[in-house]
Structure 1
């Protein structure tokens, strides 16, 4: 798909190692199967692509199986050679690739329970002029998070493993109430695969 400056882009961060899930690095949590039979990362990608016109998936170079799976499903994949430096490295890698976008919804591949309706609600707020949007369920902020292009310089300056969390504390954020516990549920441990 040709990316125009009028496009909003979904960025799916799928470059982590998931050491808490398997400290030995044998089992990739992003390729584990959910109770419905679908893989974790692909489910997160499908929810994002069901709403966003343009989706970019960021993977690390040594995860060939995940890279090939996303390519087989015709996703646009960006390989981040610096992924082990932390989430911010993966995020800035995806942002540089989609820098011409009008803005971005940044989703995490280990959060497959986020509803498409939540992503749609965030996109609506961005389209209506919000610069930073975050979903809220029962008073708690979660993921994914959306940014307008206004914040590209600040996003590209991020480093470490906190991602964009610091920007949410520094700038004005539009909170979007959602009926979606999935914004708080990530896959950190094997028991999380069935926690819906």
Structure 2
């Protein structure tokens, strides 16, 4: 979607969380299914796609490139498998050792790796039901000059959240487990109405896949 000579719009796929609640529940209920290491992002949805693949495809449709932030192999034994799956989808895979300290570190690492970008669309990888249309609408709102753009479904803000280059300095300072929540309080946010419950729906437990 990028025109030659213009800074790219970059998607940040947040795939570095350990998903400990999901893993614990999976070990308890599906002891014989260790092929995906009880990583919720590699768990299969009803159509057979891994969770992370569905999220990556929706994000990739609306940006010029996707950087997938994954944990280091020291923090997650399934990190290499996750990275391989996302690389097949065309993502730039970036291990983020500091991800154990919280989502903010992952976002900052992704922005640092794409510092020339025109903006960023940030999507947690455990949100596979986000529609391509919702991602397009957020990206288009950024292109029209919004500082921050967020989809809204039934009066609730969801993901992906778009950040313009004006937010770069503050995105690079993010740390901890609150993600970019502080920026939503300090910058104007353009709300983007969508008819897509997927912008609110994530996967926390194996039963959520149903």
TM range, smaller chain = over 0.9
Which of 45, 48, 57 is matched with 1:37 structurally?
48
Which of 156, 165, 173 is matched with 1:149 structurally?
165
User: What residue in structure 1 maps to residue 96 of structure 2?
Assistant: 80
User: What are structure 2's unaligned runs of at least 5 residues?
Assistant: 28-36, 74-78
User: What residue in structure 1 maps to residue 30 of structure 2?
Assistant: none
User: What residue in structure 2 maps to residue 27 of structure 1?
Assistant: 38
Q: Per-residue CA shift, 1:24-71, capped at 9, x if unaligned? A: 885100000111111000110011112211111111121111012222
Tell me the C-alpha RMSD between the 2 structures: 1.7
State the TM-score, normalized to the length of structure 2: 0.87
* Distance verdict in 2 for CA 1:4–1:66, change over 3 Å: farther
User: What residue in structure 1 maps to residue 205 of structure 2?
Assistant: 189
Is the 8 Å Cα contact of residues 4 and 101 (structure 1) preserved in structure 2?
Answer: no
Q: Per-residue CA shift, 1:112-164, capped at 9, x if unaligned? A: 00000000000111000001001100000111100000011111111110100
Q: Distance in 2 between matches of 1:140 and 1:8?
A: 25
Is the 8 Å Cα contact of residues 69 and 93 (structure 2) preserved in structure 1?
Answer: yes
For 1:61-76, list aligned pairs within 5 A: 61-62=72-73, 63-76=79-92
For 1:103-114, list aligned pairs within 5 A: 103-114=119-130
After superposing on structure 2, the runs of 4+ consecutive aligned residues of structure 1 that deviate more than 4 Å are none
User: What residue in structure 2 maps to residue 50 of structure 1?
Assistant: 61
Is the 8 Å Cα contact of residues 148 and 190 (structure 2) preserved in structure 1?
Answer: yes
Which of 118, 122, 127 is matched with 2:134 structurally?
118
User: What are structure 1's unaligned runs of at least 5 residues?
Assistant: none
1:140 aligns with 2:141: no
In the TM superposition, residue 72 of structure 1 has moved relative to its aligned partner by 3.0
Q: Distance in 2 between matches of 1:65 and 1:82?
A: 19
Q: Per-residue CA shift, 1:4-35, capped at 9, x if unaligned? A: 65211111010000011123885100000111
Select between 48-57 and 121-130 the one with higher mean Cα deviation.
Answer: 48-57
How many residues are paired up? 193
User: What residue in structure 2 maps to residue 13 of structure 1?
Assistant: 14
Q: Distance in 1 between matches of 2:85 and 2:5?
A: 26
